[in-house]
Amino acid sequence: MSGETGTGEEVAPETTTAASVHGGRPEPGTGHVVGTIVRRELRTVARTPTFFILGAALTAVLLGVAWLGGGLRSGYVPTAVDLLTPLELLVPIVAVAFGYRAVLADQQRGELDVLRTYPVAPWQIVAGVYVGRAVGLAVAVLAPLAVVGGAVAVVDHDTAIIYATHTGADSPLLYARMVVLTVLFALVVLAVAVAISAVASATRSALALAVVALVVLLVGADLALVYGLSVGILGDGSLIHALALSPLSAYRGLVLETAVIVAAGTGPRTAAPLSSLLGLALWWLASLSVATYAVKRA
Amino acid sequence: MSTTPLLEASNVNRSYGDVDVLEGVSLTVDAGEVVALIGPNGAGKSTLIRVLAGIEPPTAGSVDYGGPETARPVGYLPQQPAFRPGFTARETLAYYGSLVGDDEGVAREGLARVGLEAAADRPVEALSGGMTRLLGIAQATVGDPPVVVLDEPGSGLDPGMSVHVFEVAAELADEGRGVLLSSHDLELVERNADRVVVIDRGRIVEAGPPEEITERRSAPSLLDAFELAVAGEAGTVELVEGSP
């Protein structure tokens, strides 16, 4: 075989190999590589019925809550208040569903091993997977909230049934703030889920880790803050800053501070917006860093 | 003439905890040749291939790539190739191609090379085991890598398909690539490989062109030479020292 190829007499002496026929191909740019992975993730999301079902279920639940709670007839801010607690519970679940197997499935199929022979860095894999899933998740969260917002716009408003003090300040802009913050919260939880998917070695352990993460995010961090307050580790003055340590508390505080309290024009401070945004950013960055490290070590 | 190997492993060791899977392995892969890696189950073939492909670092020793600068120096087919479901064979290959800057036309060429054009639009989960392996081989050649390492490319294939896989490997070598593959089909190896490396218990126990090995071992076939070269009984799994 070798005698039949360019390694033999057909190649000039002193050349290393006939491999000069191959190679010499420049590596594509970072944007191209990440974009390729993002497109694949987007196609995966678009072709996975589960994600559509999740979006539809979220729409139905939020519409139902807003209708039954009376928010739909009262305005945007009352609707935001009605939706806040369900969103605190449901958004993390949807986000985890979008991300908990995102990296793990590729690892289990051996595709991560294959990617090591391509000019693709671990951070590019994580970035591509995350951005692709994030777009899908943002749509899955935005669409239901847009539907509810649209319903508020078309439903005739009753006059001051529940939140009378809000009626004068009710605005779709405040509702939009809540929507934006909800998407941000979802993207932070997605980062945690992607980290779980990169760290876990099996679907079962990914599920277990996801449950643990949900419990910590939804209950544990808040309980820790309450405990800290009760034993005096946290003072009253520092509480609104300490809330930033918990993604859920940070999200809740931001919504209350920027979309609800501001409408009432009065009330206690519920969050330190900058601290809360910083807390969410740190959770996001730390999670994606863990994911990148795990992919590198896999 | 050819002085610099495309790929050179020098005194490679690879351990997992106390288990030494590879010990002092040295080999080269030159352009235009098919090197076959054979050995009993558990001998360390897949580990050596993963080290050569750069997927795992050697615990000691080195693996040096001596070919031209390129986006993807070494192409790799895993022992059990699998692809993300929900995508066609063409989309899958186009995805990998895009990672090295290829357009979709190159993906079609890759499928044609392995004889998978007819299944280009079939979802990967609907491909047979043999077709999946062929798609894996096409993936291994994405980016025009000067070296291609294939971990048991003929495993689980019918005889005709196995022959086809070795023909593809020979074509890759004819194009000037260096091809290293592992296989248990010693008849096909004897017929197609330029050089054979026999590995047993993590060490190379024999190496050279098939005819030289059989001559050296005074064996009528590569299979007989293989049985003489390896320490274990046929039909048993030999584990390297320290294995749990």
pLDDT in tens, B205-219: 999 999 999 999 999
Distance CA A63, CA A54 (A): 14
Instruction: Compute how many other C-beta atoms are within 10 angstroms of the C-beta atom of residue A42.
Output: 16
Domain holding A253, by residue range, is 28-297
Report strand pairing: B203-208 vs B195-200.
antiparallel
A18 within a domain of the structure (yes/no): no
A101 within a domain of the structure (yes/no): yes
Domain count, chain A: 1
Note the CATH architecture for domain B1-68+146-244. 3-Layer(aba) Sandwich (3.40)
Is residue A114 within 8 Å of B139, Cβ to Cβ? yes
Nearest Cβ partner of B99 from A24, A106, A118? A118
pLDDT in tens, A95-111: 999 999 999 999 999 99
Strand partners, B64: B8
A9 within a domain of the structure (yes/no): no
Q: How far is A147 from chain B (nearest CA, A)?
A: 29
Per-residue pLDDT at A13 exceeds 70: no
Residue appearing with tokens 């006939």: A18
Provide the 3-class DSSP secondary structure of residue A9: coil
Give the pLDDT confidence score for residue A237 in this predicted structure.
77
Residue A206 pLDDT grade (very low, low, confident, very high; cuts 50, 70, 90) = confident
Angle between helices A76-99 and A122-154 (to 10 degrees): 150
Cβ contact, residue pair B86, A113, below 8 Å: no
Q: How far is B177 from chain A (nearest CA, A)?
A: 6
Encoded tokens for A162: 């529940």
Chain A, chain B: beta-carbon pairs less than 8 Å apart:
169
CA dihedral for B143, B146, B147, B148, sign (positive or negative): positive
CA dihedral for A228, A232, A234, A240, sign (positive or negative): positive
Residue A235 pLDDT grade (very low, low, confident, very high; cuts 50, 70, 90) = confident
Percent of chain A with pLDDT over 70: 86
Q: Does B234 touch chain A (CB under 8 A)?
A: no
Q: Does A31 touch chain B (CB under 8 A)?
A: no
Segment B23-47 shows an average pLDDT of 95
Residue A207 pLDDT grade (very low, low, confident, very high; cuts 50, 70, 90) = confident
Give the pLDDT confidence score for residue B82 in this predicted structure.
96
Q: Does B175 touch chain A (CB under 8 A)?
A: yes
Per-residue pLDDT at B244 exceeds 60: no
Per-residue pLDDT at A166 exceeds 60: no
Under DSSP, the state recorded for B83 is -
A71 within a domain of the structure (yes/no): yes
A1 within a domain of the structure (yes/no): no
Give the pLDDT confidence score for residue B65 in this predicted structure.
96
Cβ contact, residue pair B31, A120, below 8 Å: no
A8 within a domain of the structure (yes/no): no
